[in-house]
Homo-oligomer: A and B are copies of this chain.
Amino acid sequence: MKTKDRILLKSLALFNQDGERSITTNHIASALNMSPGNLYYHFRSKEEIIYEIFLMYERSMLNALTVPSDRVITYTDKMGYFEAIFNQLWEYRFLHRDLGHLLEESPRLRASYRQFAGKVMAQAYLVYNALRKAEFIKASEQDVQAMIVNIWIITTSWASFVVSSGFFGEEVVLSQRLLRRGIYQIICLEAPYLQGEALEKLPDLLKQYGDDSAKTV
């Protein structure tokens, strides 16, 4: 593996584990048995490392949201999107833990994040249009537009909700299981618009993604 990639992966692991704020470039160099000078040869600042990690995140997220061009979208594709998105959220979980701060610190990350949000929502629009065409979803244009914004907010805010709300217990530690529980919330959001095979499979999905350990309101 190239040194540059080794630095990015180790940084990502440390940021996820301890939070981005408590990790310095010195910590990263030391965890790699590397001199700070060598690290600075590859990245001039922590901001640059974070920006490169964001680009990795963006690539894998947009990649996960591709609509098949050679065939009709299937219901399995649809669930695959959620699985892929929440897996990416887990892999890059430090990004959304303190997003406001990261965006404040870096004007180019701020600009890129906005473009990314636009691209993901445009991609989601293509997915929902394909789902409408395949008659898995019956919804007006206005319904779809609002649903995409709501899904974006719930998805990107889910990690903060898990940690801050106490909904899953006191002082809970974010886990992949609790993160995935967010898929349940999205399924419920979409539920009123489902039809056909998607509607038939809904009860099973609700069972699969629901979590008995979750409180009721």
| A152 with B164, Cβ < 8 A, contacts A121-B217, A146-B184 known | no
A142 to B118, CA, bound (A): 32
- Indicate if A158 sits at the interface (CB-CB under 8 A): yes
Give the Cβ gap from A80 to chain B, nearest Cβ, in Å: 21
Q: Which of A48-56, A64-72, A81-89, A95-103 is near enough to bind chain B?
A: A95-103
Give A4 Cβ to nearest chain B Cβ, in Å: 28
| Bound CA–CA A160/B192 (angstroms) | 27
Q: Does A62 contact B (CB under 8 A)?
A: no
Partner of A117, one of B142, B144, B167: B167
When chains A and B are docked, how far (Å) is the Cα of A124 from the Cα of B217?
Answer: 9
Is A115 interfacial (CB 8 A cutoff)? Answer: yes
Q: Is A8 part of the contact surface with B, judged by Cβ < 8 Å?
A: no
Chain B residues lying within 8 Å of A206, measured Cβ to Cβ, are 142
By the criterion CB–CB under 8 Å, are B160 and A99 in contact?
yes
Given A125-B217, A154-B154, list of 10 further CB < 8 A pairs? A97-B100, A98-B101, A100-B164, A101-B101, A114-B170, A117-B166, A118-B215, A143-B191, A149-B167, A153-B157
